[in-house]
Structure 1
């Protein structure tokens, strides 16, 4: 069975990290959840919800748990700081009125991601889109159900996300594979596509961005089911997550076996795709023809 965390109910990245640390501290203390709950004077369900990040934890409760596990002062200070950070608002909260909760959860995960391997079967990855291309994609996806002001706010969110690639301190490492057919699709017309090709060429020159094009002639491939992104976080004890998106919902796959399958699919895709230099040459050729 897939181990999945529905995006609209997903905990923050920092809360997941704190939960994992508390679980490991209990295990190092050689306590079961039942034993820890009894000594804390809490229900087993409460301890379980905290350790699985289904609920947050107050500062007094955190202190109580750290006392039980005999945690040293330095580690204690770090864990309290992590708990405070988990309650902080992100820049995306300013767009709460036009950003669905599942998308906001994804943005927070992305902001904490160290590296991402993404396959986008229909469009250019959002982190590499021009503003005009993004506007056309968002407008089409909303199917005229939203006013222009909301479309513009969503475009602004997408453009702000792209700062992850350019930040001086630990920029996001992005490896994306784009089918040739997605690049041939005339989103917004020739001028929009010409600018989009130019941006892809420019972004491919970054040391932290790898772009590969999957030729249409390759035929069937392991990811015909759709879009996915494998996200790896900066902390070694933070497990990988695979983000999978469809038209009406999104989910996070966290099971070890399922993550391995997505990783294997990505490895097959990059082996089938043109290498980065060949991909850049193809995109330049498309730009000249635009």
Structure 2
């Protein structure tokens, strides 16, 4: 399905453009159709699932031509659609819901991770270990069991036959600077090699600590780049911070993240060498704790 989140972004831009083309302020539009200024603002900023009836009321008020009217109503319908993640409510966590939404309609994903194993490649044991660590920071904003179920569903969706291409660049620090038990990390590294080697649409590169990155600007956070089948839907960069995800759709901003990703990919090891490094790192861990049970 088309990502409802992406459609909401596009719908918001279209509604704002239509209003501005008619020289109308948001307050004026709100008064004309007896809506609150807040409702107009939420629609034009893609906050929440839109009500198709509200969109129709706005289009009629702005005297939008029939051909354009039909196109935008269809867009609103897509933006209001529900996905499998909605059945989890807030139990899976708002951040995982966002990623599930984007992944549902994406054409390609490119991710750089400097702090943890990418979610799509995580084992349940590794994820459980991270959850236990996260509990030290206070009350969780998700239900661990539901979140784990949802993550498995995300993996299933991404691995579907017509799923997106997925490229990963993982900083070597993620592999060497261990934050979970040795046995868990060893199994995790072996799992990554198995999944990536078996899936032609997945490409993994490790950025070694000694990589020559002269002339490149290094990212300050983990981020992912998304493209979508419909060329009208612009590329998107999602930046992972400790407490939230920052979403960039403005082309100039996204272009900067694309440039940094391309620099990282050039500095990283080739795919086969990267998988060999993961295997070697797993073997070193196993030699210290014995083979996984």
Tell me the CA shift for residue 119 of structure 1. Answer: 0.9
> Does residue 194 in structure 1 map to residue 186 in structure 2?
yes
In the other structure, the counterpart of 2:153 is 160
Distance 1:278 1:103 in 2: 31
Q: Map Cα deviations across residues 242-265 of structure 1 (whole Å, 9 max, x no partner).
A: 111222233212333222221111
Tell me the CA shift for residue 103 of structure 1. Answer: 4.1
Tell me the CA shift for residue 93 of structure 1. Answer: 2.9
* Aligned pairs (5 A) from 1:1-290: 12-22=5-15, 31-33=22-24, 41-42=32-33, 50-54=43-47, 57-64=50-57, 68-72=63-67, 76=70, 79-143=72-136, 145=138, 150-169=143-162, 171-205=163-197, 206-218=199-211, 222-289=217-284, 290=286
CA RMSD of aligned residues (A): 3.5
Contact 2:55 2:73 in 1 (8 A): yes
Distance 1:48 1:249 in 2: 22
Tell me the CA shift for residue 117 of structure 1. Answer: 1.3
Greater relative contact order: 1 or 2 (C-alpha under 8 angstroms, separation 6 or more)?
1
Distance 1:152 1:82 in 2: 34
What's the TM-score, normalizing by structure 2?
0.77
Runs of 4+ more than 6 Å apart:
24-27
Q: Map Cα deviations across residues 66-112 of structure 1 (whole Å, 9 max, x no partner).
A: 56232339x82x64344234333332233334334344334322333
What's the TM-score, normalizing by structure 1?
0.78
Distance 2:50 2:278 in 1: 49
Distance 1:157 1:278 in 2: 32
Comparing 107-116 with 97-106, which one deviates more in the overlay? 97-106
Unaligned runs of 5+ in 1: 1-10
Contact 2:248 2:254 in 1 (8 A): yes
Contact 2:205 2:265 in 1 (8 A): yes
Contact 1:138 1:154 in 2 (8 A): no
Change (3 A) 1:89 1:212: same
Tell me the CA shift for residue 202 of structure 1. Answer: 2.2
Unaligned runs of 5+ in 2: 287-293
